[in-house]
Amino acid sequence: MVIKPRGGREPCRVLALADDLSGAAETAAALRLPGRIVLGPAPAAPPAEGEALVLDLDTRQLPADEAARIVRETVRGAAAGTVLIKKTDSLLRGNLAAEAAAYAQGAAGLVIAPALPVAGRTVRDGVVHLRGTPLHATDAWRAESGPVPPSVSAALGDLRTAVVPLGAVRSARTELTGRLRDLMAAGLRPVCDAETDEDLDAVVAAVLPLGPDVRLMGTGGLAAALGRVLGPVLDGADVPSPREPLRSDRPLLVVVGTAEPTAVAQIAQLTEAGARHTALPAVLLAEVGPPLSFPVDAHGITVVSVDNSSGILAGSARRVVAGLARAVAALPYPADLVLTGGETARRVLDALGVTRLHPVGQIHHGAVHCRTDDGRSVVTRPGSYGDTGSLLRIARALRPVHPAVPGDHPAVPGVGSVAPVPPPSVSSVPQGEVL
């Protein structure tokens, strides 16, 4: 299989950095390049020409200075000529200011475009909007400990920035390239407005002529634009491809790492279709001791979640998710996995000793299907993504003829003969990821 970028460009290496696992998987699927996801921050073999390496640096929950150190060291080790992109949270959460400053060090410039149009998250006048409402006027940060930033520039702290308005983004490519070059020459980091995927495509197309020393930072939407602009033309194949055969002889375990109402409704759809559900008490998961056990349907679909009806004690959330991961890792036989919430996904795979994933495709936006080295399916999905049918749709994709998911089965491309149905809408105001 030969990979030839459109427009006469030479094949390039792409290194993408993410601060959590669901974001890394989203980025890998968006880039649509051959490659792998590595659960870092341990060093990994650099990407080859025409390949993407996506690193989950696992820095979302770390102290800001430690997160910055990891980003700085990772970027310092990138091979010359590598195109770099840093995935950021579309709601500006995490150690954004510290990691952006570290990521910018040593670069000829940094261009920031944090819109995610597919999820209704746009940027106008340097302000993130959710379905047209400014981020700071929503309750999307209700699970965060600090105040919501009023703008992208405010979220970036001391980093010197300049807003590139929508009119400039939609100008001729040479004009936008020149504007970005002038801002960076003045020591500023452009923050680009965007409302559509075409706007993000324009940003990437304007940045690439400036060379690989100018780095990109944004959401999975910007990663998708990079994949589209690089435009791999493949000889007889699509990458990543969801056409690999699906096995159904393993149990399917759905691990839900959020307790928000949408997650409850998603679980209800699965259980109504016949899946087995167990909610493990948060207070017991947080305790040090042997892993909790729960029943698993060896030939069917099982859901395990956290019962936080009594509340989760302040400071214990990470212990709860660690306990959930230990419980999953204690299963006596391997299972295919659906993991919601980036923290939950990473801790479960750490407990299982999984250090690398191979992207297969997306079931719906943010629900990314990967393979482990031993062939198991793993679907990761942010806790804030998907409508009430999300988990049922994922189960149907992985088990298209399983009796626990009867009815009109949307087929995975290459599996069965039923045409895929359109993806469900993405929740406009995300739920807080408890775990």
pLDDT in tens, 60-102: 999 999 999 999 999 998 988 899 999 999 999 999 999 999 9
Would you state the pLDDT for residue 242?
43
Instruction: Report which of residues 239 and 289 the model is more confident about.
Output: 289
**Structural domain boundaries of the chain?**
3-234, 252-398
Read off the amino acid at residue 118. V
Domains 3-234 and 252-398 belong to one CATH topology: no
Contact 266, 386 (CB under 8 A): yes
Q: What is the average pLDDT across 275-303?
A: 93
pLDDT, average across residues 32-51? 88
Query: Which burial class, exposed, middle or buried, applies to 240 when counting CB atoms under 10 A from its CB (0-12, 13-18, 19+)?
Result: buried
Q: Is the pLDDT of residue 404 over 80?
A: no
What HEC string does the chain produce?
A: CCEEEHHHCCCCCEEEEECCHHHHHHHHHHHCCCEEEEECCCCCCCCCCCCEEEEECCCCCCCHHHHHHHHHHHHHCCCCCCEEEEECCCCCCCCHHHHHHHHHCCCCEEEEECCEHHHCEEEECCEEEECCEEHHHCCCCCCCCCCCCCCHHHHCCCCCEEEECHHHHCCCHHHHHHHHHHHHHCCCEEEECECCHHHHHHHHHHHHHHCCCEEEEECHHHHHHHHHHHCEEECCCCCCCCCCCCCCCCCEEEEECCCCHHHHHHHHHHHHCCCEEEEEEHHHHCCCCCCCCCCCCCCCEEEEEEECCCCCCCCCHHHHHHHHHHHHHCCCCCCEEEEECHHHHHHHHHHHCCCEEEEEEEEECCEEEEECCCCCEEEEECCCCCCCCHHHHHHHHHCCCCCCCCCCCCCCCCCCCCCCCCCCCCCCCCCCCCC
Predicted confidence at residue 385, as pLDDT, reads 77
What single DSSP character describes residue 406?
Answer: -
- In this structure, whether the domain defined by 252-398 belongs to CATH 3.40.980.20 is answered with yes
pLDDT band at 403 (very low <50, low <70, confident <90, very high): low
Whether 420 shows a pLDDT value over 70: the answer reads no
Kindly tell me if the per-residue pLDDT of 1 is higher than 80. Answer: no
- Which residue type is seen at 328? V
Contact by Cβ (8 Å): 422, 331: no
The predicted-structure confidence for 351-384, as pLDDT tens digits, reads as follows 999 999 999 999 998 899 999 999 999 999 988 7
What is this structure's pTM? 0.85
User: pLDDT at position 357, please?
Assistant: 96
What integer best gives the mean pLDDT of the chain? 86
Contact yes or no for 40/267 (Cβ under 8 A): no
CATH topology of domain 3-234: Rossmann fold (3.40.50)
pLDDT surpassing 60 at residue 106: yes
